[in-house]
A and B are shown apart, each in its own frame.
Chain A
């Protein structure tokens, strides 16, 4: 009984939150829209709750119990990343619209020595968002990256290059 409740409760809470979100966005309180929202909330919850079974690995805390995320570095990084995304789109658009289509794609392997899963996830997503590179796969030794031209591949170096240094900066000095 209590086991069943433990499984049903998170689903009910998630569906409830989704329903509140629906009402807030639609702003309509008549029976039709409310029942539509309730149906949608329940359907979405049932369809997706299986995806959340494995809890994400928590970030390791330092001796005072704090997570070593450095906010100033994080904000600088976020702004830099937004700029990179914009540059990335311009870079790819230029390649696409160039009459000779000057691409020379290749797979490159990079080694990373980042301290924990969240930092590695950040690096992997950042590589995907920056010019000419998409992270393809990731294992214990490093990451597999698809680069659209040699310059993009070279910008990563063998270990993520300047981007890995920035991610290290965000996640604290103990990172290296």
Chain B
């Protein structure tokens, strides 16, 4: 019983940390000034946030099958998220999206 309470507490900590990073990513999308900096928010905070919450949920699941599925989703996120981040960055760079400089006012992503 004590062990399961410990696991539960740890899992709740993981999910809470994950939610914090997802919240940070969302705030980042709103606050950051251009396409590339927003990619940092999605590519890093979102990946970490999803991974942590999925790990926590995998620990909480009663059914082993559910745990296995959550771990598979975790693996997919870990591979797909950085790949998508890179693909978006490359497409933006080749399409001529400019990098925001600190002396410019913040504009919508991709604004010249």
Hey, which bits of chain A sit against chain B, CB under 8 A?
Answer: 25, 27, 85-86, 88-89, 91-93, 96-97, 101, 103-107, 124-125, 128-129, 131-132, 134-137, 144, 146, 148
- In the bound complex, CA of A32 to CA of B99 (Å): 51
- Residues of B with Cβ closer than 8 Å to A? 20-21, 24-25, 27-28, 31-34, 36-37, 39-41, 43-45, 47-49, 65, 69, 72, 82-83, 85-86, 89-90, 92-94, 99-102
User: Which B residues lie within 8 Å of A101 (CB)?
Assistant: 31-32
B21 to chain A, nearest CB (A): 5
B-chain residues with CB within 8 Å of residue A25 when the two chains form the complex = 69, 72
Residues of A within 8 A of B85 (CB): 128, 134
Q: CB < 8 Å: which of A89, A107, A125, A137 contacts B82? A: A125
Apart from A105-B34, A105-B101, 8 more pairs, CB < 8 Å: A85-B48, A89-B44, A89-B48, A93-B21, A96-B28, A105-B36, A128-B82, A137-B93
Bound: A129/B83 CA distance, A: 10
Q: Which residues of B contact A125 (CB under 8 A)?
A: 82-83, 86
CA distance A107 to B33 in the complex (A): 15
Interface centre among A96, A146, A148 (most CB of B within 10 A): A96
